[in-house]
Structure 1
């Protein structure tokens, strides 16, 4: 079977500093473009309603904090004055304030989680539609334009929506808190006067300016220290996903690994991939340690900073104990609001890394869509239906086949260059061919010559090359060498891509009997991973049973009997010919057993020197009657 280079993503060498810098970019415009669509979608009314409710609850919590700030002043004044009656009343007042705070906090968290899931549900549906639409999932794998799309759909989307809401609500809370408390701090702190160069200087609301200066310096230091964490978090997600993929791959191929006694090799491979995780984690630890040092020092000093600054006024008798505690509380609220960036930096780093991975994934899907929709994009292979409904021929005109050689995407400052095109390696010289109804073609040639690539081009999923393919309005079915069996009941696996209920149980049982799989009839309702439970030969016979259900007008078999013995292989082809006498059959195969069921031949031969043409192709196609 001809094939293109493997599309499995494995960790490469350590990411260079330039790549780490690239992955650490903020890409604010692209991030906003990722956020905006949901709030304009069909679900925007419900989303905006929940958002307004969460915002209102946040505002309620800020108001509770304002009440607590005032309560601080009165409470500590009562303690200073030893007013036991007021002390008891204030404790009762604190109880209902605290109860309101708890209720608001619980409902805010509940509705924020509800909004997060609605947003994630919409984004997951949108990304899945784009990933599966235009067969982007297939094209991305061919060009290696992005790694581990499963991890981006499952983990990065969750982290993105969770982080976006958490950070935005935190920022809103900080802004409202700042607006609510900056006036209080300005009034209660009062002015400070001092001599500077013989001049009497007075600063009104001096605690506000101290809070602003403290937060600005802390934010700048935190960003300087922590920015590399964005790129390192990006890489950590990639390495974790690669390691998880290799574990799943080992589980799915447990039998051949066991037969080869390949455990030492697999262990070495897994350890090498985990070593990437460990090495990157060490860098994350170093930068996280620095950021934690900054955040912890910043937060701890902020506890005593307002007391140190306000203490002179208290000890001079210009402030009461309640006033001092109110200043301390108000300063903490203002400084905390201004320190949103510092306090949220670790969360912001993880969220931005997830956003950058989603941006790359989205751009890769955009390129794949363009390849599918735009003639002359990735290639010039045009697949179009015949204008004549009565036409039952597949017409191939000047078809040249090529392979993509691009390893990744070219990026500009906002992501993927929308004009970037994958480079192509010419493979097969242009040829023309007409496949008529009821004809049976055998395609053979050296391994790697492009036989399977031809089938992919006929299926409309291979854009690399040039030429035109006109297809009839008929039922077409492709059976690859390794058939796909979804996890589910055996009926689902047999009926794919239809649901297991699309065909009667009698029909399913009949085709299993015809494909020499009668022993499986009693397992039609058993849920299992049938690609692991059935042998390769059983899987190929199940694919023939699937063809009997589908009853295609054109049947393409890509070494679909390679795991069968010659007698069973002949029986399967005889079954197709007798059961589907009017179907056109095109097979890639090498055995003489298969040749006996075909009357036409398409051969791939190596292009001799001087015959390759200007394109530098490796093979030519020869038709034999």
Structure 2
């Protein structure tokens, strides 16, 4: 990606914030921060003149003027000069609030950007499609958290730094020009030669910095990626700790983790070498810049054309001009990191746009009048395009209880995903009753972060459900021992056993009282007695419930009146659970 493309992507990421409803406060904060930074530049100019008077007082051995320039004020040829104590106090105050208000703007911008990214990630289940086919949007968690933070922070820091460098350049350019002698080269008189020397010095440094530091953009991008991969692997290890311990899989996990960390180390070494090369140059460039202004201004001093104070002011002005022109050299490493961050965020945004653009593809799930669920010419495909399952026609009426059977991996769970309207690959149409409340319970329930109460009530808000109903559902599901811990926060997905998690999900169904309930091996971790009890409980407590179950245990069949069988890539709809399956018409 070229720098022009990077700037275009950065603008498309940043500009919406400055046009959003937040723009009033955002622009106000930005203008105040810009004003404070301009004040810092103005004080730097003032200090250059104060510096001249201070060293002239030292050269003249004028103790009274020396003291006045330190603590009060002094009359000079340029007018009244405030003492250093006043300038320093004001400088500190302005610098502190410039940083404070910049951080206030930063957190507002980051909140807006994070909200927007989360909305786009969650809209039209784009997050689910990305989980199936991430493409260039790997590790979306890092992009929402770390990359968004870096983008806002570095954009403000670099942007304000660039603005300050431009203002510094314009301010000190006139000062340096007025202090510069003319020089005659090959018979041509060049006025303000110190200005031209500063421009040549900075231009050469910028060109060399770009040549030396060019690989850093690619290496920074890769470093962010491998770091995110390693962090994701550690999170997976933490979440699967129990299974790893049961399988005695620590050695295998260590091998996998160290393999990912090896990628971190390998790229880090490459990054170190590239950074070392750039640092050699930038450090040498900076060190030379300390004495270079004195070297180019020294002939005028030795010739007696400027006093000591004039020499120090000339060196200071030259240094400010050269430093402003060398902004790219000084920030080249940061610019490459910022570029990598922009690339990752823009790639994530493009992946989200593509995911939402494909939201209408695949099996169409539409709410229609009536009370029957219908599958018409449904063909369910895998992400690579291969057909997994076909269902020409099938129906489920209200209050029916249908058992779905078939070999593992035949597409039963994916069929449920298509009915739920989230599977993006395939074709055909699923009609679901309009206004019917459906709930899908997978074999491994999702338990959100937070309290146990929130996990039981999910997806409803805890305060929207009656306390007595909640406690009754917990007791009926055999979770009475957890009632004292309802308001306790814990990693419940790791704390509860598989059977407890499935009972909690069934308690969730009792609380939310759906019209349609789809159970995908949702009782597989329970013993047959508990499984029987909970099926009986669901049918008793939720009269009129339409129940569709995926299960392999023969005992589950008695709670269902019809059977669907998945066999040889097709769905066969049976008349009742005791008869043989016949092909769906």
SS in 1 for 2:358: helix
Contact kept, 8 Å, 1:178 with 1:333, in 2: the verdict is yes
Structure 2 residue aligned with 1:571: 533
Distance 1:223 1:67 in 2: 34
Find 1:126's aligned residue among 112, 116, 129. 116
Structure 2 residue aligned with 1:554: 516
Find 1:272's aligned residue among 259, 262, 267. 259
Superposed, 1:109-508 pairs within 5 Å as 109-145=99-135, 146-194=137-185, 196=186, 200-372=187-359, 375=360, 379-386=361-368, 388=369, 391-405=370-384, 424-472=385-433, 473-508=435-470
Contact kept, 8 Å, 2:447 with 2:493, in 1: the verdict is yes
Are residue 536 (structure 1) and residue 527 (structure 2) matched? no
Moved more, 22-31 or 466-475: 22-31
Would the alpha carbon gap of residues 245 and 462 (structure 1) be closer, same or farther in structure 2, given more than 3 Å must change? same
Number of aligned residues: 562
TM-score by structure 2 length?
Answer: 0.94
SS in 2 for 1:429: strand
Distance 1:545 1:23 in 2: 55
Distance 1:103 1:599 in 2: 79
Would the alpha carbon gap of residues 278 and 295 (structure 1) be closer, same or farther in structure 2, given more than 3 Å must change? same
CA deviation after TM superposition for structure 1 residue 241, in Å: 1.7
Contact kept, 8 Å, 2:6 with 2:339, in 1: the verdict is no
Are residue 97 (structure 1) and residue 87 (structure 2) matched? yes
Are residue 82 (structure 1) and residue 69 (structure 2) matched? no
Unaligned runs of 5+ in 2: 72-82, 576-585
SS in 2 for 1:285: helix
Superposed, 1:31-50 pairs within 5 Å as 31-50=10-29
Unaligned runs of 5+ in 1: 1-21, 406-423, 607-618
Distance 1:476 1:302 in 2: 71
Contact kept, 8 Å, 1:242 with 1:273, in 2: the verdict is yes
Structure 1 residue aligned with 2:78: none
| 1:319-349: CA deviation from partner (whole Å, max 9, x where unpaired) | 2212111110000110111111111112212
Structure 2 residue aligned with 1:18: none
Structure 1 residue aligned with 2:546: 584
Distance 1:320 1:453 in 2: 85
Structure 2 residue aligned with 1:53: 32
| 1:149-207: CA deviation from partner (whole Å, max 9, x where unpaired) | 1111111111110000000100110011111110110110121123x2xxx12111011
Distance 2:88 2:529 in 1: 81
Contact kept, 8 Å, 1:23 with 1:231, in 2: the verdict is no
Structure 1 residue aligned with 2:555: 593
Are residue 68 (structure 1) and residue 47 (structure 2) matched? yes
More contact order relative to length (CA 8 Å, sep ≥ 6)? 1
CA deviation after TM superposition for structure 1 residue 227, in Å: 2.1
Moved more, 362-371 or 281-290: 362-371
Distance 2:517 2:191 in 1: 86
Contact kept, 8 Å, 2:375 with 2:391, in 1: the verdict is no
- Measured on the aligned residues, the alpha-carbon RMSD in Å equals 1.5
TM-score by structure 1 length?
Answer: 0.88
| 1:423-442: CA deviation from partner (whole Å, max 9, x where unpaired) | x2222234221211011111
Distance 1:231 1:500 in 2: 47
SS in 2 for 1:621: strand
Q: Could you list the runs of 4 or more consecutive aligned residues of structure 1 that deviate by over 6 angstroms after TM superposition? A: none
CA deviation after TM superposition for structure 1 residue 522, in Å: 2.2
Distance 2:267 2:475 in 1: 55
